[in-house]
Amino acid sequence: MHPWLAQRTELFDSSGIRKVFDLAAKLENPINLSIGQPDFPAPQEVKQAAIDAINADKNGYSLTQGIPPLREALEQQVREDLGQPDRRLIVTSGTSGALALALLAMVDPGDEVIGFDPYFVMYPALTGMAGGVFVPIDTYPDFRLDLAKVEAAITDRTKLILLNSPSNPSGVVATEDEVRGLAELAAKHNVALLSDEIYRPFCYDAPLASPARFNDQTLVVDAFSKSHALTGWRVGWAHGPAEVIEKMTMLQQYTFVCAPHPLQWGALAAMDVSIQPYADKYRERRDHLVAGLRDAGYTVPQPGGAFYAFPKVPAKYASATEFVAQAIERELLIIPGNIFSAHDSHFRISYAAGMETIDRGLEVLRELA
């Protein structure tokens, strides 16, 4: 290892997802069901608004907390959703930026951050970067929240509980009862609650219940990345208690400075674009993929949102890593579950791909089963 590098190597392991992407680049016509972003193009009027902003020379720094029209429009939307006038909001560099600022603002060295396994890959890494200790709660086999397990995991060092619903990688959506229970538990133990709602518009069976509805201290992070196919733009937001948002604003000044300025104007235009037609399309694909997987004999906990499913690898394989290696030999790109989990028993399959690709993938998965 280069002597200049930090010793905390667990934080800097090259992500397994990226390894699959590198492989994908080498295959001529891969069946790519590893994708973590929408396959529809960004809306034309949104692109035009960003181009107009660039041409109008809105290319300098913006206010740290975001351009006022975007911040005010988002605040208005949050007020309509939650009716909590004291919430404050900051525009961030995507949800990742919001997560980084939130953990830096809230976690002291040694603090414990509870998350749910399987978890989004950034959570343990960001917790570690903030000096915290990630405490994963096992949610196998159905990926439901077990409140008794959460309560048992709370110690006097617990600072924060991280919820991601709909979940990456499982697509599972927490029920209103689960969310309310978690929100009340956090309040009872005076533990912070952070809700990553980046897949909020992609809920197919029932609208997302945000814990912020039941616990007004909840910090919510979200973005335009997935909703409007703008993952490369890096425009997101966070809303929550005023003091937490103020601290995050200060930290944004010292790190990301501001979300990309002209793209914030594009994001403002995105707020007028309904993405329901895309959500409807993803619902159809979800139904098709899950039916196909179950028909082939796979066990799949019902994914109610996002664009992922997280099936169990058939028993004849020693691990998900071995199973995924065999899938890749057949040009099918999926992600082994151990990237997101202490278990190496499941795989993430994305349906942010056309029906034809999904059908080609199902064919390989039938062979492998």
Query: Which residues would be at the binding site for ligand PLP (CB under 6 A)?
Result: 36, 94-96, 120, 164, 168, 196, 198, 223, 225, 231, 236
Q: How far is the CB of 138 from ligand PLP (least distance, A)?
A: 18
Q: How far is the CB of 240 from ligand PLP (least distance, A)?
A: 16
- Choose between 193 and 362: whose C-beta lies nearer to ligand PLP: 193
- Choose between 42 and 362: whose C-beta lies nearer to ligand PLP: 42
- The pair of three-digit structure tokens given for residue 245, joined into one six-digit string: 């948002």
- The pair of three-digit structure tokens given for residue 214, joined into one six-digit string: 């039941």
Rounded CA-CA distance 1/145 in Å is 40
- Choose between 120 and 347: whose C-beta lies nearer to ligand PLP: 120
Q: Nearest to ligand PLP by Cβ — which residue?
A: 94
- Choose between 236 and 361: whose C-beta lies nearer to ligand PLP: 236
Rounded CA-CA distance 54/276 in Å is 28
- Choose between 225 and 357: whose C-beta lies nearer to ligand PLP: 225
- Choose between 168 and 210: whose C-beta lies nearer to ligand PLP: 168
C-alpha triplet 286, 290, 292: angle, nearest 5°: 120
Q: How far is the CB of 236 from ligand PLP (least distance, A)?
A: 5
Q: How far is the CB of 86 from ligand PLP (least distance, A)?
A: 25
Q: How far is the CB of 93 from ligand PLP (least distance, A)?
A: 7
Rounded CA-CA distance 70/68 in Å is 6
Q: How far is the CB of 223 from ligand PLP (least distance, A)?
A: 4
Distance of CA 201 to the CA centre of its chain: 12
Rounded CA-CA distance 113/106 in Å is 10
| Complete DSSP assignment for 134-166 | EEEEE-TTTT---HHHHHHH--TTEEEEEEESS
**Cβ(116)–Cβ(153) below 8 Å:** no
